[in-house]
C-alpha cells in the first residue's frame, strides 16, 4: 500500500473542554512514540468546534501538560475553529453530489418515530424520512449524510484486529447541526485527510465512530488512514478511570511532585508491554514501542506503581538537578533557600527515601526553618529532664569543636558518649527531635554537618 512507504504523520486531537487527562496523555504518548520511532511528524490539532465548552484556558493547560511531559509536536496547534469555511465547502460538495440532504425533522418528531420502531421490535434509528423531502422548505434544518443500506464496513484496527460493522445499523449521520456548526465525525475526517494523517491512534471510546468516518472518507474521495484504538485506562476497581479514583489531570501530577520521565514510563506501561521490563528511558520507549504489544483489554492505573517508578527516577537524578526541581515546592510554602545550608548535600541525604518532589521538599523543610516547633507529645516522650541535661552538656561539648564535618562530629560525640558510659541511642533520638522536630530524619551526624554549627547550637539551646 502507498501508505507503507509514506513517512508517518500522526496527530493528537484534544477537545479543549478540560485539562489534559491521564488517558489523553497516554494517547498523545503512543502517537508521539510511533512518530518519533519512524522519523515521522506529530501534529497537534485542537478540536474546538464546541464553542460552549471549549476555552483558551484549557488549550493552554493542555499544551502546558504536553510541554511538561516533553511530548513535542512538529505542526500546530491547528484549530478547527479556523477551518469552518473549509468544512462548509465539503458540506456543499456532499449536498451537490446527492450524498447528503437537509433534514427538517424536529427532535420530538424523531423521538416519536424511534419509539414506534422500538415498539415494533426494530432497532431505533433515524428513518431517513427527509431523504425524499422537499429540500427548499423555510424551516430550520440539519444536514445528514446518507448511510449505506447494506454491506459491512470493516475497521482494520492496528490493536484490535478486524472489527466489522453492519452498514444497515448506522443512522444517516448529522454532519451539520441546526445551528450551522459541523459535527465532530465530519470535521475529523476532513482534517485527518487533508493533514495527510497516516495513523489515527485514539481511545476505543471512538471505535464506534470509525466505520462512520470510513464511509465519509469514501464519500469525499479520500483514502482512510490506518486506525488503532487503545483500551481505556481503568481505576483500581476496574471501572473507567475518573475523578472518583483520584487526580486525573496531568498537571495535578506535576503539582504532586511527580517527574515527567516517571509519568511517561508509567503511562507507556499501561496497556503496553515489552517482556517483563518495567523501566524504560524515552529513547528505549521510542525504540521498542509497537502496536502489536499494546494489550486489547483496559490497563489499570496503579498509583503505588507510579510512586515506585517516581522514586526510582528521583533517586537517580543528581543533587543539583533535584535542587532546581524541588526549589519551587519549597518556595510555594514560603521557604527561602539560603546559602547557609548546602541544599545539594541535604538533598543527597533525603533523596533515597523520598518518592516525590513534594516528599523531598517536606524532608528538607527542617533545615530552613528559623526555629523548630516540637509537638508536645514528642517533647514529653523524648525531651525528658534527663535528656535535656544531656543535650545541654552536648551543646557545650560541640560549641568549642571547630571541625563540623560528619566524621569529626561522630568521633567527638562518640568519645563523649563513651566517656559517660552511655550508648548513642540514649542521645540520638532526643537530639534528632531537638534538631528536626521529628523522629525521622537522615543520619544524625550527617544532618548536623549539613545544618551547620550555628543552627545546631541554637536549636540545642532552644530546648535545654
Ligand atoms: N477530539 C476528540 C477527543 O478529544 C479526538 C478524537 C480523535 O482522536 O479522533 O476525544
User: At a CB cut-off of 8 Å and minimum separation 6, what does 267 contact?
Assistant: 22, 25, 26, 29
* Cβ atoms of residues 28 and 68 within 8 Å: no
The atom number, within ligand 1, closest to the CA of 27 reads 8
Q: Rounded mean pLDDT of 421-426?
A: 93
**One domain for residues 407 and 441:** yes
Residues known to be catalytic: 243
282-305: per-residue pLDDT in tens?
999 999 999 999 999 888 999 999
Which helix H or strand E contains 429, and what residues bound it? helix 424-436
The atom number, within ligand 1, closest to the CA of 192 reads 9
CA of 89 to the centre of ligand 1 (A): 22
C-alpha cell at 379: 517533647
Counting ligand 1 atoms within 8 A of each CB, the residue from 16, 30, 200, 202 with the most, and so the one to mutate, is 202
* Cβ atoms of residues 176 and 182 within 8 Å: yes
* Cβ atoms of residues 7 and 39 within 8 Å: yes
Give the full edge-to-edge strand order of the sheet including 142-145: 100-103, 142-145, 174-176
In a domain, 258, yes or no: yes
In a domain, 55, yes or no: no
Domain total of the chain: 3
CA of 105 to the centre of ligand 1 (A): 28
CA of 327 to the centre of ligand 1 (A): 37
User: Hey, which residues does 234 pair with through a beta bridge?
Assistant: 240, 300
88-140: per-residue pLDDT in tens?
999 999 999 999 999 999 999 999 999 999 999 998 999 999 999 999 999 99
Position 338 confidence tier, pLDDT thresholds 50, 70, 90: confident
The atom number, within ligand 1, closest to the CA of 209 reads 9
The atom number, within ligand 1, closest to the CA of 205 reads 10
Is residue 336 scored above 50 in pLDDT? yes
Domain span at residue 322 reads 317-360
**One domain for residues 283 and 298:** yes
User: Hey, which residues does 41 pair with through a beta bridge?
Assistant: 9
Position 5 confidence tier, pLDDT thresholds 50, 70, 90: low
**One domain for residues 336 and 282:** no
CA of 421 to the centre of ligand 1 (A): 73
**One domain for residues 276 and 346:** no
Which DSSP string corresponds to 159-181? TTEEEEEEGGGS---EEE-TTSP
Counting ligand 1 atoms within 8 A of each CB, the residue from 9, 19, 47 with the most, and so the one to mutate, is 47
What local confidence, expressed as pLDDT, does residue 2 receive?
A: 43
User: At a CB cut-off of 8 Å and minimum separation 6, what does 188 contact?
Assistant: 13, 47, 213
**One domain for residues 309 and 348:** no
29-84: per-residue pLDDT in tens?
999 999 999 999 999 999 999 889 999 999 999 999 999 999 999 999 999 999 99
**One domain for residues 353 and 289:** no
Residue 86 buriedness (CB in 10 A; 0-12 / 13-18 / 19+): middle
In a domain, 230, yes or no: no
In a domain, 423, yes or no: yes
**One domain for residues 265 and 343:** no
**One domain for residues 399 and 414:** yes
Position 3 confidence tier, pLDDT thresholds 50, 70, 90: very low
Q: List, chain by chain if needed, residues with CB within 6 Å of any ligand 1 atom.
A: 13-15, 47, 188, 202, 206
- Residue 277 maps to which CATH number? 1.10.1160.10
Counting ligand 1 atoms within 8 A of each CB, the residue from 9, 11, 13 with the most, and so the one to mutate, is 13
CA of 79 to the centre of ligand 1 (A): 13
What local confidence, expressed as pLDDT, does residue 6 receive?
A: 81
* Cβ atoms of residues 448 and 456 within 8 Å: yes
- Residue 383 maps to which CATH number? 1.10.10.350
219-254: per-residue pLDDT in tens?
999 999 999 999 999 998 999 998 888 889 999 999
Mean pLDDT of the chain, nearest integer: 96
Helices (H) and strands (E) counted in the chain, each on its own, are 20, 12
Amino acid at each position: 500500500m502507498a501508505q507503507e512507504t509514506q513517512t508517518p504523520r500522526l496527530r493528537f486531537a484534544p477537545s479543549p473542554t478540560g485539562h489534559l487527562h491521564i488517558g489523553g496523555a497516554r494517547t498523545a504518548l503512543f502517537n508521539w512514540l510511533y512518530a518519533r520511532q519512524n522519523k515521522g511528524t506529530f501534529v497537534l490539532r485542537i478540536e474546538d468546534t464546541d464553542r460552549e465548552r471549549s476555552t483558551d484556558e484549557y488549550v493552554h493547560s493542555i499544551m502546558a501538560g504536553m510541554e511538561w511531559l516533553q511530548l513535542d509536536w512538529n505542526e500546530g496547534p491547528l484549530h478547527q475553529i479556523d477551518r469552518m469555511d473549509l468544512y462548509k465547502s465539503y458540506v456543499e460538495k456532499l449536498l451537490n453530489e446527492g450524498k447528503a440532504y437537509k433534514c427538517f425533522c424536529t427532535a420530538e418528531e424523531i423521538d416519536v418515530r424511534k419509539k414506534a420502531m422500538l415498539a415494533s421490535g426494530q432497532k431505533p434509528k433515524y428513518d431517513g424520512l427527509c431523504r425524499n423531502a422537499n429540500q427548499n422548505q423555510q424551516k430550520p434544518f440539519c444536514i445528514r449524510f446518507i448511510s449505506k443500506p447494506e454491506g459491512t464496513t470493516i475497521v482494520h484496527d492496528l490493536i484490535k484486529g478486524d472489527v466489522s460493522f453492519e452498514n444497515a445499523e448506522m443512522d444517516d449521520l448529522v454532519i451539520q447541526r441546526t445551528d450551522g456548526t459541523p459535527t465532530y465525525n465530519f470535521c475529523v475526517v476532513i482534517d485527518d485527510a487533508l493533514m495527510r494523517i497516516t495513523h489515527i491512534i485514539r481511545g476505543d471510546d471512538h471505535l464506534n465512530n470509525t466505520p462512520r468516518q470510513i464511509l465519509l472518507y469514501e464519500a469525499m474521495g479520500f483514502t482512510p488512514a490506518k486506525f488503532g484504538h487503545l483500551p481505556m485506562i481503568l481505576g483500581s476497581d476496574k471501572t473507567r478511570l475518573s475523578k472518583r479514583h483520584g487526580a486525573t489531570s496531568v498537571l495535578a501530577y506535576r503539582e504532586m511532585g511527580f517527574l515527567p520521565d516517571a509519568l511517561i514510563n508509567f503511562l507507556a506501561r499501561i496497556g503496553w508491554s515489552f517482556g517483563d521490563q518495567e523501566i524504560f528511558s524515552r529513547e528505549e520507549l521510542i525504540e521498542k514501542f509497537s502496536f502489536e504489544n499494546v494489550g486489547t483489554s483496559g490497563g489499570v492505573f496503579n498509583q503505588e506503581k507510579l510512586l515506585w517508578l517516581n522514586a526510582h527516577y528521583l533517586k537517580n537524578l543528581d543533587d543539583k538537578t533535584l535542587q532546581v526541581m524541588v526549589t519551587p515546592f519549597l518556595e510555594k510554602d514560603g521557604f527561602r533557600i539560603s546559602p547557609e545550608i548546602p541544599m545539594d548535600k541535604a538533598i543527597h541525604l533525603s533523596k533515597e527515601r523520598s518518592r516525590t518532589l513534594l516528599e523531598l521538599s517536606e524532608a528538607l523543610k527542617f533545615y530552613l526553618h528559623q526555629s523548630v516547633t516540637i509537638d508536645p507529645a514528642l517533647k514529653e516522650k523524648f525531651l525528658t529532664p534527663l535528656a535535656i541535661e544531656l543535650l545541654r552538656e552536648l551543646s557545650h561539648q560541640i560549641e568549642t569543636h571547630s571541625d563540623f564535618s560528619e566524621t569529626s562530629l561522630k568521633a567527638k560525640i562518640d568519645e563523649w558518649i563513651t566517656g559517660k558510659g552511655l550508648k548513642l541511642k540514649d542521645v540520638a533520638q532526643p537530639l534528632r527531635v531537638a534538631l528536626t522536630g521529628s523522629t525521622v530524619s537522615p543520619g544524625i551526624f550527617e544532618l548536623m554537618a549539613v545544618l551547620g554549627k550555628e543552627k545546631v547550637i541554637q536549636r540545642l539551646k532552644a530546648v535545654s
